Amino acid sequence: MIFSPLIDQLIMALRCLPGVGPKSAQRMAFHILERERSSGLNLAKILETAIMQVKHCQRCRTLSETTLCNLCANLNRDQSLLCIVETPADVIAIEQTGSYRGYYFVLLGRLSPLDGIGPEELGLDQLLKNLTEHPPQEVILATNPTVEGEATAHYLAEIIKQRNINTSRIAHGVPLGGELEFVDGNTLARALTERSEV
């Protein structure tokens, strides 16, 4: 053991964050202890409060301190649209575009039988309840373009179409401002297959 037990514990605790390895955790720990003790205490207090108070919205399952998140509680949103995403971070990404005004449903994952994630773990009972209580005209499937995300979107499309609700999938393809020579083959193939008329 190079450091004192508490410093070792702090470094190990910081490693729970995504993308933080041993060296990054060590730098963070020393930065807090050497220069930012008051900020570190504030971080600890806010972190504890957030962990204790932030739950999941009862309607869309995103993170919220209240029973209904701000988006679900907003009656001015377009009730004819429901966008299904994998994570709360996806909700934020879509909201930041400013181009979507409907409601959301957060799966909190994607189908992955190898990891033991099936339909039950994605809250499909809650989704079906929402579709019955607040039937939209269109459901937009905005899962990630991974093998698991595609399988999840296909599975959801089959269930939703049985309820006679229009179902669409977000487009995938060449990024705006991208150059074709740098786009990977799978993305370019999909962009060609899903081309639209101009």
Query: Model confidence over 73-116: pLDDT tens digits?
Result: 999 999 999 999 999 999 999 999 999 999 999 999 999 888 88
43 with 99, same domain: the answer is no
Q: Is residue 150 part of a domain?
A: yes
Q: Is residue 41 part of a domain?
A: yes
80 with 165, same domain: the answer is yes
Q: pLDDT: is 59 or 117 the higher one?
A: 59
pLDDT at position 174 over 80 = no
94 with 165, same domain: the answer is yes
Segment 8-44, tens digit of pLDDT: 999 999 999 999 999 999 999 999 999 999 999 999 9
Question: Which two three-digit tokens encode residue 57?
Answer: 């919205």
pLDDT at position 189 over 70 = yes
15 with 86, same domain: the answer is no
Q: Tell me the whole-structure pTM to 2 decimals.
A: 0.85
Q: What total of structural domains would you count in the chain?
A: 2
Domain that includes residue 46, residue range:
5-53
Question: Which two three-digit tokens encode residue 148?
Answer: 């698991």
> Partners of 81 in the beta sheet?
138
